A and B are shown apart, each in its own frame.
Chain A
Amino acid sequence: MIAILEQGLLLALAAMGVYISFRLVDLPDLTPDGSYIVGGAVAVVLLRSGHGWVSATLLAALAAGAAGFITASISTRFRIHTLLASIMVMTGLYSVAIRIMNAPNLPIPRFSTEKILSYEQVVGKTPLDDILGGVGNLQYESQGMKAVTVPFNNRADGHDLILIASLLLLISFLFWLFLRTELGTMLRGYGRNRFAVKVLGVNPNLFALMGLTVANFLVGLSGALFSMYSGFADVNMGTGMVVVCLASVILGEIIFGSREVAYGLFFPIVGAVVYQILLTLAMKYGYRIGFKPSDMKLLTAMFVVSVIAARRLKKSEVTV
C-alpha cells in the first residue's frame, strides 16, 4: 500500500500541473506528455554527470517549465490554439529527450560499477576475438560508473512516502499562498474571463505564459522524481500522461463535488492517489476478466470520455 501511495503522490505533482493548465487557466495543453520525459531525462543525465539530486531535480523542472513557456509563446505570439501548439512542442520534445539522454533510455546507477571488470578487461579481448581468432586490444578502459545518490530507498518503509508527501505539501502550500496574492487571484480570474483582465490594463498573454510554465514545471518535477524513484528515464514514459492526469483531476472533482477546497488544489492530489489505487486493483484483479496491464491506458481514456459525456448529458459545465 505504501508503494501505491508513493506512486500516487508522485503522479499528483504532474496532475497538479495538468489541473493548472486545463482548469485554472483553462488552456488545454498536451505538452506534459513531452515535458514529463524532459524532466526525467534532464534529471538522470545530471545525476550521472555528478550533480546532486536537489539541483538535478530543480534544473529538470526548469527545463520542463521552459517547454511550457515555448508552448504558450507559440500560442500567444502566432495565435495558434494551445492544443495545436502543444502537440507541436510535445512531438519535438520526444527528439529533444533522446538528444539529452543520447539514447532512448538511461538507467541511474544505484551502486558503483567502477571496480567491476568486464570480460574484455579481464581477458584482454572480446568473445568475438576468440571466435574469429583476432588479436585483442589490451587498452580496454573501465566502463564502470560511480554510484548516484537519490533520495529514495524503494524499501516501502515510509521513508519515501514521507519525503514525497512533504514535498507535495510544501509545493501545494506555496502555490495556495501564491493564488491568494493579487497576481495569483488575477491568474485564477484569467481562467474564466480573459477580457476582464484586458480591461484592467493587463496583457492577458502574460497569464498564459505564467500558467503553462508553472504547469509544466510541476510536470517536469514529477518526471524527475519518478525517474529517481524508478531508477531510469525512458523516452516513452510520458505517453498518455495528460490523459492519466486528467483522469486524476476528474476523479478528484467527483470526490469533492462542489466543494472547492484550497482553490481546487486538492482535486489532483486526492484524485491521483485514488487513480493509482484503482489502477493497482485493476491490474491485480483485472486479469480475471481478461484485462492486461497494457489495457490500462485504454481504460483511462474511456473513463475520461465517459465522465465528460455524462456531464454533457447532464448539461453541466465542462471546460475540457
Chain B
Amino acid sequence: MIELERVTVIYNRGTLDEKVALKNVDLLVEEGQFVVIVGANGAGKSTLMKVVVGEVKPTFGVCRIMGQVLKEEKIFKCGSIVCQDPNLGIFPNLSIEENLMLARKKGFRGLSFGRVDPKAIELLRSCELGLEENLKKRASKLSGGQKQALAMVMAVSSNPKLLLLDEHTASLDPKSTEKIMELTDRINKTLGTTILMITHDMSIAEQYGDTVIVMEDGRIVARIDKSKQKVQASQLKSMIKSKLTATT
C-alpha cells in the first residue's frame, strides 16, 4: 500500500537554514495493516506523513502509494487524512448531516441533492457521543472530541483504501482519546482500511496497531511487529525506550 524507498528530505537545501528532516527512510505498509509511528518532536514523523500525502517531495528516494508515485490530489482520491486540529477534518459551518453527505464519496459534485449513507450514521452511533441524534446541528457547535469523531467518520465514509492519522488525538482529553482510538481500531478491523498513524503518545502505541515504528532524528530506529514478536503491551514501552536510548 505504502512504500518508501531510501527517502531523504532536506528542507531549504543549499541555504544557511538547510535541515535534514528524513534520512534514508525505508518503509513498507501492507494492505489492511495498522501501523503506528512514534517518536519525539523533531523525529521526522510529520515530514514522513507529508511525503506520504504528496505535500513534500523527497529530495532523494521515492514514495509509492499502491505501486505508483502519485500527486497530492490523486492520493486524496484513494485515501483520507485526519489531522490534529479537529476543525481541519470537518466543514464547521455545515450541519453534521451536510458534512456526512459531502463525505459520502470522493471527487467533484453535481447539482443533485445528496443523501447521507446509513453506514456513516451507524459508525457515528458506535462512537456513543450522541452525534447521530443531532444531525441538523452545526458542526462548529460540537466539542473537540465530537468534531474529531465526525472527522473520522467522514474520512472513512467514502471507503478509502488508506487512512492517514496525523496525531489525531493530540488535542483531545483522555476520555475522548479513548473513544476516538476505539473508533480507529474498529475502522481497521471491520472495514479493513489500511491505517498509518503518527503519535507521540506511547500508551496509544502500546495498545493499538499491528506494527509500531520508532523514529528518532529523521531515521527509523526500530520496527516492532506485535503479532510476530508476540509483544505484550507492558513490554512494548520498555522496548521503545530501549531503542530510543540506544540511538542517543
Which residue in B73, B80, B81, B92 is a CB contact (below 8 Å) of A192?
B92
Instruction: Specify which chain B residues have a CB less than 8 angstroms from the CB of A202 in the assembled complex.
Output: 106-109
The 0/1 profile, CB within 8 Å of B marked 1, for residues 173-211 of chain A is 000001011111110110111011011111100100000
From residue B155, how far is it (CB to closest CB) to chain A in Å? 8
Whether a CB of chain A sits under 8 angstroms from the CB of B101 is: yes
Find out whether the CB atom of A199 lies under 8 angstroms from the CB atom of B90.
Answer: no
B102 touches A182 (CB 8 A): yes
CB proximity of B140 to chain A, nearest CB, Å:
8
Residues of A within 8 A of B89 (CB): 196, 199
Cβ-defined partner of B110 (8 Å) among A181, A192, A200:
A181
Find chain A residues with CB under 8 A from B88 CB: 193, 195-196
Pick the residue among B73, B90, B101, B108 that contacts A185 (CB under 8 A).
Answer: B101
In the complex formed, the residue of B with least CB distance to A181 is B111
Q: Is the CB of A182 within 8 A of B109?
A: yes
Residues of A within 8 A of B158 (CB): 200
The answer to whether A201 and B94 have CB atoms under 8 Å apart is no
Residues on B with C-beta less than 8 A from A201 are 73, 76-77, 106-107
The reply to whether A178 and B103 form a contact with Cβ atoms under 8 Å apart is no
Give the shortest distance, in Å, between B16 (CB) and chain A (any CB): 25
B contacts, CB < 8 Å to A: 72-73, 76-77, 80-81, 87-94, 98-99, 101-103, 106-114, 155, 158
Which of A183, A184, A189, A198 has the most chain B CB atoms closer than 10 A to its own CB?
A: A189
Cβ of B94 and Cβ of A183 under 8 Å apart?
no
User: Is the beta-carbon distance between B102 and A186 smaller than 8 angstroms?
Assistant: yes
Q: Which residue of A lies closest to B95 (CB)?
A: A185
Residues of A within 8 A of B114 (CB): 181-182, 185
Docked CA distance A188–B114 (Å): 14
Query: Would A182 and B113 be within 8 Å (CB), given that A199-B76, A200-B106, A202-B108 are in contact?
Result: yes
Asked if A196 contacts B76 (CB within 8 A), the reply is no
Query: Which of the listed residues A178, A184, A189, A196 has the most CB atoms from chain B within 10 Å of its own CB?
Result: A196
Report 5 cross-chain contacts, Cβ distance below 8 Å, ordered by A residue: A181-B109, A188-B93, A189-B93, A189-B94, A201-B73
User: Could you tell me which residues of chain A, from 139 to 186, have a CB within 8 Å of some CB in chain B?
Assistant: 178, 180-186
Q: A188-B94, A198-B76, A200-B76 are in contact. Are A178 and B108 (CB under 8 A)?
A: no
State whether A185 and B77 are in contact (beta carbons under 8 Å apart), knowing that A192-B92, A193-B91 are contacts in the complex.
no
Q: Within the assembled complex, what's the spacing in Å between the Cα atoms of A200 and B93?
A: 17
Contact B111 A200 (CB under 8 A): no
User: How long is the Cα–Cα vector from A202 to B103 in the complex, in angstroms?
Assistant: 11
> 8 tightest CB-CB pairs across the interface, nearest first?
A189-B91, A201-B106, A182-B109, A201-B77, A182-B114, A192-B93, A183-B109, A181-B111
Contacting pair B87 A193 (CB below 8 A): yes
For the complex formed, measure the closest distance between the CB of A294 and the CB atoms of chain B, giving whole angstroms: 39
Distance in angstroms between the alpha carbons of A61 and B110 in the assembled complex? 24
Q: State the CA gap A184–B111 with chains docked (Å).
A: 8
Q: Taking the nearest CB of chain A, how far is it from the CB of B238, in angstroms? A: 37
Could you tell me if A199 and B81 are in contact, using CB atoms closer than 8 angstroms?
yes
User: B73 touching A178 by the CB < 8 A rule?
Assistant: no
Given contacts A183-B111, A185-B98, 6 further A-B contacts (CB under 8 A): A181-B113, A182-B113, A182-B114, A193-B91, A200-B158, A201-B106
Distance (whole angstroms) from the CB of B162 to the closest CB of chain A: 12
Measured between alpha carbons, how far is A200 from B92 in the docked complex, in Å?
A: 15
With contact pairs A182-B101, A185-B101 given, residues A203 and B110 touching in the complex (Cβ less than 8 Å) = no
On chain B, the residues within 8 Å of A178 by CB distance are 111
CA distance A193 to B88 in the complex (A): 7
